[in-house]
Amino acid sequence: MEFPSELRYTIEQLLSAQDVRALTAAAEGISNRYRNESGNGKRLVSSEKDVLAYAAVRMPATFGAVSKALELTLEVFEEEINSILDAGAGTGAASHAAEINTGCDNITCLEREEGMIALGQQLMQARGIGASWIRQDITAGLSDQHADLVISSYCLNELTTAERKKAIITLWEHTDKLLLLVEPGTPEGASQLREARNILIEAGGYVAAPCPSNGECTLPLDDWCHFTARVARSKLHKQLKGGDAPYEDEKFCFLAVSKSGCSGKPRILRHPKIESGKITLRICTEQGITDKVVTRKSPLFKAARKSDSGDSFGEI
Ligand SMILES: C[S@@+](CC[C@H](N)C(=O)[O-])C[C@H]1O[C@@H](n2cnc3c(N)ncnc32)[C@H](O)[C@@H]1O
């Protein structure tokens, strides 16, 4: 899904008043901190320049990842969503993705950085959404906020292990229907969500996506379950991050857990391997992970040719 033009325009307007070299340095600083300082509860993006650079270089990608995760989840989760709680909302990427994918604009954003909140509010106004923003540290627990859909995207990996485990339980307790966690598509992101999956199943949740069921994950520990969202790169993004590629592929991991008995579907885990006359699909099924070879003669060949990593593949 395309990053909304109103958001792109507003960010570009705000950045046009800034010095490009200082913003490029801020974008580099953010990348370095995410690479080297995540996972210990530190503040990683706080100054005004950092916040603007975050919105320019990361927000389109996190929006793309949450949109794709929601698209895949809403294929199997069909309940109506009437309220959204976005924990560690940053500049609101996940909330925009959720509003567009569910049609629900009853949104509460929880965030601890004032700068993120200020820009997040401005971007919500740009799209005409009256979300409520609350300055809150999610590791200190939530008050009485509850929502049908609770989302946390690219936030849990910033917390310490103990904080993360506690936050997962807290978010689950404040979820009325569906909890969606989205994290970077790295081995660490995947292992954190694997741990979250165990915690949430133990707490009585039903995995809606990406897994086909609550069954034990049979992916080898040295592999990691992740998906890709293709994100168009703006002129500004190219200026701040360098390179000419027209798009970037954002790798992400996600986990959607429901309160009701919703169950998932078999899902393709890798880009299909296409060879002459046959396509091999690596599929996660209730019985475990299997390589399904679909030959040209099979009635599934057309569907296999159109399929991609992340898609559910019903008939196996
Ligand atoms: C990488 S950004 C992601 C923002 C947004 N969810 C997105 O997907 O673009 C992580 C956000 O989580 C916020 N955050 C980190 N720890 C937090 C905490 N303990 N309580 C509230 N917000 C937190 C950070 O301030 C930052 O805005």
pLDDT tens digit string along 3-27? 999 999 999 999 888 888 888 888 8
Report the nearest-CA residue for atom 1 of ligand 1: 154
Q: Which atom number of ligand 1 is nearest to the Cα of residue 43?
A: 25
Tell how far the Cα of 16 is from the centroid of ligand 1, in angstroms: 25
- Higher-confidence position of 149 and 233: 149
Q: Whose CA is nearest to atom 10 of ligand 1?
A: 155
75 CA to middle of ligand 1, Å?
27
**Ligand 1 centroid vs 306 CA: distance in angstroms?**
36
Q: What is the Å distance from ligand 1's center to 28 Cα?
A: 18
Give the start-end residues of each E strand in the chain: 84-87, 107-111, 132-135, 147-153, 175-184, 206-209, 227-232, 247-258, 267-268, 273-275, 278-285, 288-295
Whole-model pTM?
Answer: 0.94
Nearest CA to ligand 1 atom 26: 90
Number of the ligand 1 atom closest to the C-alpha atom of 86: 6
In the chain, pLDDT over 90 holds for what percent of residues? 69
Domains in the chain, please, with CATH? 5-258 (3.40.50.150), 267-306 (no CATH)
Distance of CA 32 to the CA centre of its chain: 20
